[in-house]
Structure 1
């Protein structure tokens, strides 16, 4: 229908223009379009400024167009400057297109400043414009999933308002945090970004150590720089956008239905020696399940605990400015109603950026973000719903949920949790003030001061569900966080002939303080008082804590470019972190990189096929000190102990404490050293462009806890020990497949493969089975027996034989005995590679974007595959062994056994998958239709997020993106939205 209206509109406009042109003297203009070296350009867009008609250049660069004599022609082509040329009665207009210098001069954000894109020597990806707003989500990082090679992004879970997990180039540390450093306008913010994508100007991802070393201690796991929009001089702008969508659980977990469950329960009770004899119903089923079989009761528990969800966002922004002052401000309201009942989330975000030019050399400004979040309800236990018996009832005859659907099974109704009252509230005030002095055209001094205040309160009341079980529990958790960052940045830049030089000096101080308080009680007198009068609880407990950290840094960086061909970059950062041991708090992190723009060499200048070619080589060192504060200090137990002193019968209790942690007197920085070689390229006037990077890094002095002998009186102590290695390669490719005036098609391809390996462990160990760490293997592995099938009749001669229908595992050492020595590494939890392909099509004013995402080779321990041979609870609809079905997939069910040998092997699975992550169809109304209402842009769109799976190696119905987890399912979202600008 949309296409039909588009065609009608286009026809009406064309007819109107035809009659208008008939009244004006027409002129046929011809010519040839070439580039600067005389090569003909194919597909150049030529548009009449007044008449609105257009054409494109032919294979030899020639064109022909009829326009009014007083018209102006607009020539545009990807990678070249647009040109406007007045016709002035001319019949021949030959045009030379000039290479678009702005592509070379494009500025990207780097640590503590900006840099020309052509001068970048490290591995940096910049994302901006529509790429940030294509995917609508609570967190802007979700729109980057698959767009940036080497960056693994996934949602924590499917709960409304849930966060995002991010890894840049895999894992490096065994114990310390592996998350990247995320900064907003130069200040650390955290990965839970509450800023709407409409407010973000660009996101830069710094991946290699030569780029991240300027952040020293915080850059070991990559750096993500978010730059928000600022006001500009000129006409004020108003931007409004909104969308509303409905959601549903992505898929149903494929558990047994009524018939399958009844059959499985009966099979679990059968005598394997007399298989054909059916057990009595009363023997196979207990309690309410007997009535469920006899009366045909069926409950789909997933339908009971899920519902249609929704997601909405409303954004209103203003920006503008005059000669001295500029502003950019916005308000965003985001609401998500989850697909699980009693799951609600709301977020309010206010942002204000102000800049004021006091005089020609001094300006000041401020960036402020205020966020308030609300979450209500705990929601039912989705995993419990999956396991609940389908032949029991959820509600009684009055419509009230039945607390224990089967009195013979202790599993409670998952709906019982919706009676639990929970209200989480959190707010954050994040504000940065700056002053900038520019005494000369080459020198800039900037001072930034940020303070970050946040608080959260989680109040809960869990009432007694039934008189015979449980007691009332209530309480409140309070948390307060405050901190500041102050940095002073002195920058120098100068161009002298073919030489371009820039330098930066930085001093930075950062401090954080976290307070936590917990008050709880049981058997509250009046439940309606919730957590507001905990004194009425019969018993009460309290807890409080305080953590403080500080970081002081000094930084220097020099960048030197010769003739736009050769660039050299050096940097060094000296960091001191409070949480490390005295005498070892400081360390130095250097980096160096070079770039060679091969395209500028004489032997490539006249080769028109290659439009850009740059080689990058870099090496750098960065650190990690992300362990809990006071981890290196000796500690006493948190709660006091009671010691009794005195004569028997007259003892007196005395409060006391005992040592529980030994001081780490020599703990240093964990250090990562990484080398990177990259190639940036552009072909056919950048119709094809991209980059290729290969890297390898070592992380040593790992922050680990070494086990101590029992005679010491302590369990372990923090030490620097061990080493890991990581390596991989990344490919990024952007192609403009078709680029005509009425049809455009471009593609973005991303592919990254990374590997990690443990090189050394503490105390010379080769393996630490308790932590699943093995020298020579990946950091995160699945380690267990290797299942090879199910024992069948005829396997009795196998020396490892247990019983028919039970799990067969591989005898790795062929000694005829299965013991712990037969356990092996089955696979790595990290994927072999991650890739994506994003295609964008534009036909006239209609656009379509399709995002295909793949993650391949990861091996998981999926809780969805948990097995219970007794069939006390429901299971996945598995193919289990019976004498009539001698499968090798799953063992026989046996109600007499709580667990089968090697049962853990059943939950391991390859989790390779390919998904369509997003499809967006939009229509931008032509300016000729909206100019009369003073609207500069009006776009409507429909989008499907997470619509379907192309391929998955898991059981059909399991969402591979949840890695086999059955809690908080992801949703499929269908939405409609509008973008409007004045």
Structure 2
């Protein structure tokens, strides 16, 4: 015991002496890479302390440390090095490239590359940025973070499909959606709902943003050509989290908040306002100078007497606010996630469980998701690694009938319900005997109908890597994606679409099975220390099968019966099967000389069952090059610590056409004399092939002053050709047209990113960043008709036209000239441009309106400030250069009996012309006259330019020492708002400017403004 105490005392005295008499000394030196070039910005820190500096522009450093301590040198993409401080005051260091670290920087789907090895245009967003955004679908969180990526919501209903375009549209007659790749495997992301009339349901909504490691957006041929016939529209690569070695770590995230409509200034007439306009409109039609007939009425009050039902059912003063009734104010959103990760030198795991429940901002719609993830990796032998990822989820959604002008669409009720109708009876029950118009009582319909989308999705991805010898690896990957989508719709017996048939029920079951096998060989080696080679060959087989079953029944004998088995009449059922497959052979070559000059290339031979056997295979490929200028000797001592020039060129494809479009088909749904019959249904074209895109891309990437200022500038040009277009056929064929590969168009533009650390100290940091992208779309070739003139793919639409020399789907309509101040009549320009005007809508000429629905520019701007654990951030998104058409103006901006008799009108009608000399853009109200004010014209076409404050957040990270004192590893609190403000260029646009890619405002759930409180605990 005495010896032990003596030993402890001696040790204590030695430590005291060392602490008291330890000598401080200055250590300096240089830090260079393997080529001898200086590395500015290297972190130099005394191990175990907060004492550290960074190397300057020449790679030099100077640090005061304790003799005998250890100095750690670290830099992104290089192996960390440690040195013990001895007698020397100089330590020169050469950092070696860490190939493993570089490989984690950019994930390209089939491969990973170091940031200095990438020759193409790609942007990678970290999972932390995505997880902090309270969106149900993770792709929505990319808005404003990637230049050239335009995202708009098809609906704000939680879980709906997003409209996404990468560098504009690439097709006229085929799909424009990007390809989604999860953990290196292409997946299916089409709408999973059983009804195109109701809210859509995105399979991506099955993924939890908390489980995402990175999302990489691939934009140019150097990256997308590896995906062959599916790369023309761009690729979104999603990588899920993997396990981390070490002691098990646990994380719990919770986020609770509320949301409302982000932007909606469109209001409708109240009962008294409409009562006023109704009397005036009736008087203008049936008064002394009536436009229809003089019925002897001389005042608005007398004129209203012409419609006895008004006097019988409305007192002229009551306010029935249907708009507010269908809102779900402060809709609740909840999100909870628990995860664990850990491992040892042999393997690691990541597991999580998540739950999300989000209400929509309209009554009757809720989204719910329960998901679990289990990712596991294990070193089976020194040269064999195995990993498997499992992601299982169940999502449900109560979709609303919002994708059209349906009487049960709650937004139709919000804007068109006659405000003379009382929603409730005297006893408080819901009124289903509405006196005015033909709309249903949405309150009753939503309470008594049953509508549900359900998607159960399981994704399994297993990989076995076998390193046969040093640098040569044989990989096998098998991925399964199984989606089961169920749709159920019961419509009650008393009110709504199925009241005439005493109730109806619909059910459908849609199963999609997608499996992919990839087998590849990869060989990487170095010659002479400067010649670095990497070769990959890959075989991929993808098979997709779809099963669909549908059933229907009507006439229910009693309340409470909602399933088809209880229906008693008009049964209907159908089923179908579809399948397709792709077979691909891919080769990838990467070479770099001394980290300075990079060349890569890829070639893919792909076959798709969507085309005839003679046209089934196509060849796609790309080449890219990069010059890491900052590694050259002549850059030594410059302010640039990163300067890269890159370029790429290649051919990609688009096979997003219908299955069996190339075949001449018969349909067998006909009957003849009680027997089955067949009818011709498709003419077919055995020469159909892929749409193709020729891509050129050049960019400059830079970083200055220890990367305090960094960014990039890119120019791209994409020529899409062999575009599908319907070509008229002779009527003797019994078909109107045939799809052929004839069209062509180009997209070109500039993309730029910039980030600047305004202040960067140990305690205080301030960063600003932004991105900008332009897209110029032009149609250069169309199929020719029998008259030798180009065929308009829009087929004479009253809204749009596609012409050579102009963008796809340019707005094409009559040009509004205003209201005649003397007569109150609407007018349009006769020649469609200027000069003479006419009140005869049919004699005015329709012309191109100078823009399309496609934004010509978009981008984001943001800032982040942090101080001693506190942080604040804000992000803007903007888009413009396009026009938006308010399609439903045709209903609520009529000045006659439609808006003022049966339904309702917008409050803009209060600005109507009333007497000669009035200057307004709303004609006089005239009950019995159709003046075509509501018809398609530039009156309802608005500039689409807008800026949206996407994200504002304030938070606090508890210092680790404080967190440890209460038994946890970390704690972060965050208050976040999304879509908190919106600014529009055009004051006339009163509905939300974030619309689908076709440019029409619709009466659907708009994007939401939300506020959430988040808690993140690590232990």
TM > 0.5 fold call: yes
Asked if residue 473 in structure 1 is aligned to residue 504 in structure 2, the reply is: yes
Post-superposition offset of 1:954: 4.2
Pick one of 643, 649, 663 that aligns with 1:619: 649
1:641 equivalent in alignment to 2:678: no
TM superposition shift of 1:222: 0.6
Structure 1 position 868 matched with structure 2 position 894:
yes
State the distance in 1 between where 2:60 and 2:582 align. 63
Equivalent in 243, 248, 257 of residue 245 of structure 1? 257
SS at match of 1:358: strand
Q: Describe the SS at the equivalent of 1:931.
A: helix
- Determine the C-alpha separation between the residues in 2 that align with 1:78 and 1:360: 27
Match of 1:416 in 2: 444
Q: CA deviation at 1:563?
A: 1.8
- Choose the corresponding residue for 2:421, options 392, 395, 401: 392
The partner residue of 2:992 within 955, 959, 975 is 959
Which residues of structure 2 form unaligned runs of 5+? 1-15, 190-202, 291-296, 402-408
Match of 1:562 among 571, 593, 596: 593
1:204 alignment partner, one of 205, 216, 228: 216
Paired residues of 1:460 and 1:531 also in contact (CA < 8 A)? no
> Aligned equivalents of 2:347 and 2:458: distance in 1?
24
1:460 aligns with 2:489: yes
Equivalent residue in structure 1 for 2:607, among 540, 553, 576:
576
Cα deviation per residue 1:220-263 (whole Å; 9 max; x = unaligned)? 11111111111132211111111011112334432234454333
Q: Deviation at 1:365?
A: 2.0
2:353 aligned residue: 331
Aligned to 2:755: 734
Aligned to 2:336: 314
Identify which of 775, 784, 798 aligns with 2:813. 784
Give the whole-Å Cα distance in 2 for the aligned partners of 1:247 and 1:451.
36
Distance across 2 between alignment mates of 1:949 and 1:857: 17
Moved more, 862-871 or 449-458: 862-871
Q: Which structure 1 segments of 5+ residues have no match?
A: 1-20, 644-652, 794-802
Shift of 1:661: 1.2
SS of the residue 1:960 aligns to: coil
* Structure 1 residue 493 corresponds to structure 2 residue 517: no
Q: 2:912 matched to which residue of 1?
A: 880
- Deviation track 1:556-582 (CA, whole Å, cap 9, x = no partner) reads 111111121111111110111101123
Offset, 1:846: 0.7
SS for the counterpart of 1:298 is coil
- Equivalence for 1:529: 561
**Quick one: distance in 2 between partners of 1:285 and 1:846?**
68
Separation in 2 of the partners of 1:971 and 1:688?
34
Q: Shift of residue 42 of structure 1?
A: 12
- Deviation, structure 1 residue 83: 9.0
Report if the CA contact (8 A) 1:363-1:436 is conserved. Answer: yes
* Preserved CA contact (<8 Å) 1:240 1:316: yes
CA shift for structure 1 position 952: 4.4
In 1: Cα distance, 2:47 partner to 2:959 partner? 14
Structure 1 residues 821 and 494, CA gap change in structure 2 (3 angstroms): same
Q: Give 3-state SS (helix, strand or coil) of 1:762's partner.
A: coil
Tell me the CA shift for residue 443 of structure 1.
0.5
Report deviation, 1:726.
1.1
Q: Secondary structure at the match of 1:774?
A: coil
Correspondences of 1:936-951 after superposition (within 5 Å) = 936-951=969-984
Distance 2:306 2:1017 in 1: 62
**Does the 8 Å CA contact 2:245/2:344 hold for their aligned counterparts?**
yes
The correspondence for 2:1006, drawn from 959, 969, 974, is 969
Matched ranges for 1:655-804 at <5 A: 655-763=676-784, 765-768=789-792, 769-770=795-796, 772-793=801-822, 804=824
2:942 aligned to 890, 909, 920, which one?
909
Which string of whole-angstrom CA distances, capped at 9 and with x for unpartnered residues, describes residues 860-887 of structure 1? 1113533212123323322333326723
**Alignment partner, residue 112 of structure 1:** 110
In 2, Cα distance between the equivalents of 1:670 and 1:63?
A: 56
TM-score by length of 2: 0.85
Q: Write out aligned runs for 1:139-218 (5 A).
A: 139-191=137-189, 192-193=203-204, 194-218=206-230
- Which whole-Å CA distance do the structure 2 matches of 1:289 and 1:46 have between them? 83
Shift of 1:895: 1.1
Contact 1:700 1:722 in 2 (8 A): yes
SS class of match (1:959): coil
Distance 2:144 2:376 in 1: 34
Aligned length, in residue pairs: 938
Q: Deviations over 1:891-938 (max 9, x none)?
A: 222211245267211321111111101111111100111113442221
Per the TM alignment, residue 532 of structure 1 is displaced from its structure 2 partner at its CA by 5.0
Report deviation, 1:33.
7.7
Residue equivalent to 1:981: 1018
Contact 2:24 2:67 in 1 (8 A): no
**145-154 or 39-48, which deviates more:** 39-48
Find 1:805's aligned residue among 820, 825, 830: 825
Q: CA deviation at 1:168?
A: 0.7
- Write the distance in 2 (CA, Å) between the matches of 1:39 and 1:569: 24
Match of 1:859 in 2: 883
Question: Which residue is 1:225 aligned to?
Answer: 237
The residue that corresponds to 2:955 in the other structure is 922
Q: TM-score, normalised by structure 1?
A: 0.88
C-alpha spacing 1:57/1:951, structure 2 compared with 1 (3 Å): farther
1:147-183 alpha-carbon deviations (Å, 9 max, x no partner): 1001112222111222222111110101111111111
Q: Check the 8 A contact 1:831/1:856 in 2, yes or no.
A: yes
Q: How does 1:248-263 map to 2 (within 5 A)?
A: 248-252=260-264, 253-263=266-276
**Secondary structure of the residue that 1:340 maps to in structure 2?**
coil
Shift of 1:82: 8.9
Residues 81 and 97 in structure 1, CA contact (< 8 A), matched pair in contact too: no
Cα shift at 1:502: 0.5
Deviation at 1:687, TM superposition (A): 0.8
In structure 1, what is the Cα distance between the partners aligned to 2:766 and 2:885? Answer: 41
Aligned-pair distance for 1:955? 3.7
Q: Is the partner of 2:732 in helix, strand or coil?
A: helix
Query: What residue number does 1:358 align with?
Result: 380
Q: For 1:623-647, what per-residue CA distance to the aligned partner results, in whole angstroms no more than 9, with x for missing partners?
A: 111111121112223521335xxxx
Distance 1:375 1:305 in 2: 18
- 2:859 paired residue number: 835
1:752 deviates by 0.5
Q: Deviations over 1:72-95 (max 9, x none)?
A: 89999999999989899x9x9899
User: Per-residue displacement from partner, 1:723-751 (whole Å, max 9, x unpaired)?
Assistant: 11111110011221111111111122110
- Per the alignment, do residues 825 and 221 of structure 1 end up closer, same or farther by CA in structure 2, a change over 3 Å counting? same
**Secondary structure of the equivalent of 1:399?**
coil
Closer, same or farther: CA 398–901 of 1 in aligned 2, 3 Å: closer
Are the aligned partners of 1:753 and 1:833 in contact in 2 as well (CA < 8 Å)? yes
Task: Tell me which moved more, 252-261 or 812-821.
Answer: 812-821
The change in CA–CA distance for 1:47 and 1:118 in structure 2 (over 3 A counts) is: closer
Q: Is the 8 A contact 2:421 2:436 kept in 1?
A: no
Distance 1:463 1:175, change over 3 A: same
Is the CA contact 2:709–2:756 (under 8 Å) kept in the aligned structure 1?
yes
Deviation at 1:133, TM superposition (A): 2.2
- CA change 1:826–1:270 in 2 (3 A) is farther
